[in-house]
Amino acid sequence: MSRIDKVFEKRGKTAFIGFTVAGDPDEATSLLVAKALIEGGTDILEFGVPFSDPVADGPVIQRADDRALAAGTNPDTIFRLVKAVREYTDIPIVFLTYYNIVHKRGIDRFYREAHEAGVDGILVADMPVEESEEVTEVASRYGIDPIFLVTQTTSDERIDKIVEKARGYLYLVAVLGVTGVRDQVSSGALELISRVRKHTDLPLALGFGISSPEHAKTCTAAGADGVIVGSAIVSIVERNLGSPESMERELNDYVAQMKEAIR
């Protein structure tokens, strides 16, 4: 059983998936952020691989990507970060990346190095399921779960195609648009959980726009197996760039509050 499978083994217990941009604002601080998220109770750590054109991301995460790239972050940096986290914890680590990064590195090399570092799952945000055959085959070779996005506009037919390829969990997109904090969880997002559940027993994790304990409670009540938080976490990093101690404390407290909400 994979580390991701173990997190979702006990259905009825919602997992908290915390996202941070790897290398934001630099390698050392990024490791501090990861540790703070873990200490707060994060169940799965999701590293965003910084990219110059992150089409799925809003301004908060775009700025984090810019900071990470300005600091010289590259795949070598990110694999070092994963290895450093692996010395500290055994929780699952997932990448959210874009195909250009994987392709430039070489698909086999990227997944082999991810496996060697200790990565458990990879979501290639701009890779259609119809064009994923080579990547999912390589992922399987290295024991890495291929994770896919499902949106409110995804047809039932396409959901079936995604389910055939996906492992670990499905990432359900809660909003029509890019990442970023929203005031509330839309009714469409909650309906998406119910619709996708008819197609698969894979765990369903809801992300994009989730930021508050109230959001987390709503998602849990609707049957989400996991809640994914990114922009709210990255915002904490951004507003504490000059104070690592405050950053660490605020991240730890935030995750603890979210975990309490979904218990």
- Pick the catalytic residue from 24, 57, 113, 248: 57
Neighbouring-strand partners of residue 121:
94, 145
Concerning whether 46 is annotated as a catalytic residue, the answer is yes
Instruction: Single out the residue of 180, 257, 183, 262 nearest to residue 221, CA to CA.
Output: 262
Concerning whether 120 is annotated as a catalytic residue, the answer is no
Query: 44: exposed, middle or buried (C-beta count within 10 Å: 0-12, 13-18, 19+)?
Result: buried
Angstrom distances, CA of residue 69 to CA of 27, 35, 62, 123: 11, 21, 11, 20
How far is Cα 84 from Cα 106, in angstroms, rounded to an integer? 23
DSSP track, 130-198 = GG-HHHHHHHHHTT-EEE-EE-TT--HHHHHHHHHH--S-EEEE-SSSSS---SS--HHHHHHHHHHHT
- Pick the catalytic residue from 43, 46, 145, 250: 46
Question: Which residues belong to the active site?
Answer: 46, 57
